[in-house]
Amino acid sequence: EPEVTQTPSHQVTQMGQEVILRCVPISNHLYFYWYRQILGQKVEFLVSFYNNEISEKSEIFDDQFSVERPDGSNFTLKIRSTKLEDSAMYFCASGPPGTPKNIQYFGAGTRLSVL
Amino acid sequence: GDSVTQMEGPVTLSEEAFLTINCTYTATGYPSLFWYVQYPGEGLQLLLKATKADDKGSNKGFEATYRKETTSFHLEKGSVQVSDSAVYFCALRPLGGTSYGKLTFGQGTILTVHP
């Protein structure tokens, strides 16, 4: 069964460093999302991406964050200068063509630890 | 804004016990409601959904009924198994508007089932 793949499973970085979290969505999907979950808190929406542009973003998704679909298969989340409070589990999701209101398929997540 | 509240966890049960995980929501209009499950090391998987009031979603012995009058979507299972041990997330998706499928999640409930 097709699945969303995220790498790495755990990323450790120093505060102020740039990180790129990588996701390979399901191949025919057209809608892409990033969510995050700080330990002990709710899963929070960060951004949605469709037709090579951001379609919606949350207040969390400030100038330090960016997303890209560089080659038609990968979907990346970049954090330019990490802060301690960026430590969280980051989930990528993708949705099939037709409507953004289709089911979203999630990856297993990347745990980001900022030291 | 929209929000989802789940019962505090973790929940620990013996095999064959009855399970209820409470979920209530705040939203404008008539959102779609979901339960996602995350097994260890895996991504969030859709367990069941309901898109309008009084709809009952069901899958793998789990059920949840969309109750508009109480703004609730409680998850139930009559007889849990050890293999049901996982984290369960309640979520909503707004109806209409400019949302591109953004999901709003509760904080997740850890379920552990002992033999």
Q: What is the pLDDT of residues B21-73, one digit of tens each?
A: 999 999 987 899 999 999 988 888 999 999 889 999 999 999 999 999 999 99
Q: Does B26 touch chain A (CB under 8 A)?
A: no
pLDDT digits (tens, 9 = 90+) for B11-25: 999 999 999 999 999
| Confidence band for A101, pLDDT divided at 50, 70 and 90 | confident
| Chain B (5-24) residues lying within 8 Å, Cβ to Cβ, of chain A | none
Buried b (16+ CB within 10 A) or exposed e, A15-33: eeeebebbbbbbeebbbbb
Q: Is pLDDT of A100 > 80?
A: no
Query: What is the predicted pLDDT for the residue at B100?
Result: 66
What is the C-alpha to C-alpha distance for residues B67 and B70, in angstroms, rounded to an integer? Answer: 6
pLDDT at A97: 84
Contact with chain A for residue B32, Cβ under 8 A: yes
CB contact under 8 A, A106 and B45: yes
Q: What is the pLDDT of residues B69-111, one digit of tens each?
A: 999 999 999 999 999 999 999 999 987 666 668 899 998 999 9
Spell out which residues of chain A touch residue B106, defining contact as CB-CB under 8 Å: 42
Q: Which residues pair with B76 in a beta bridge?
A: B20, B63
CA distance linking residue B11 with residue B33, whole number of Å = 22
For the segment A35-59, the average pLDDT, to the nearest whole number, is 91
Give pLDDT, residue B101. Answer: 81
B100 lies within 8 A of chain A by CB: yes
- At A2, the pLDDT band (50, 70, 90 cuts) reads confident
Please state, rounded to an integer, the average pLDDT across all residues of chain A.
92
Contact A42 B44 (CB under 8 A): no
pLDDT at B8 over 80: no
The pLDDT of A21-27, averaged and rounded, is 95
Q: What is the mean predicted confidence (pLDDT) over A70-87?
A: 94
Distance CA A112, CA A79 (A): 11
Q: How far apart are CA B43 and CA B8, in angstroms?
A: 21
Task: Report pLDDT for B97.
Answer: 60
What pLDDT score does B67 carry? 96
pLDDT of residue A102: 77
What is residue A39's predicted lDDT score, i.e. its pLDDT?
A: 87
Residue B75: the pLDDT is 98
Rounded Cα–Cα distance for residues B101 and A16 (Å): 32
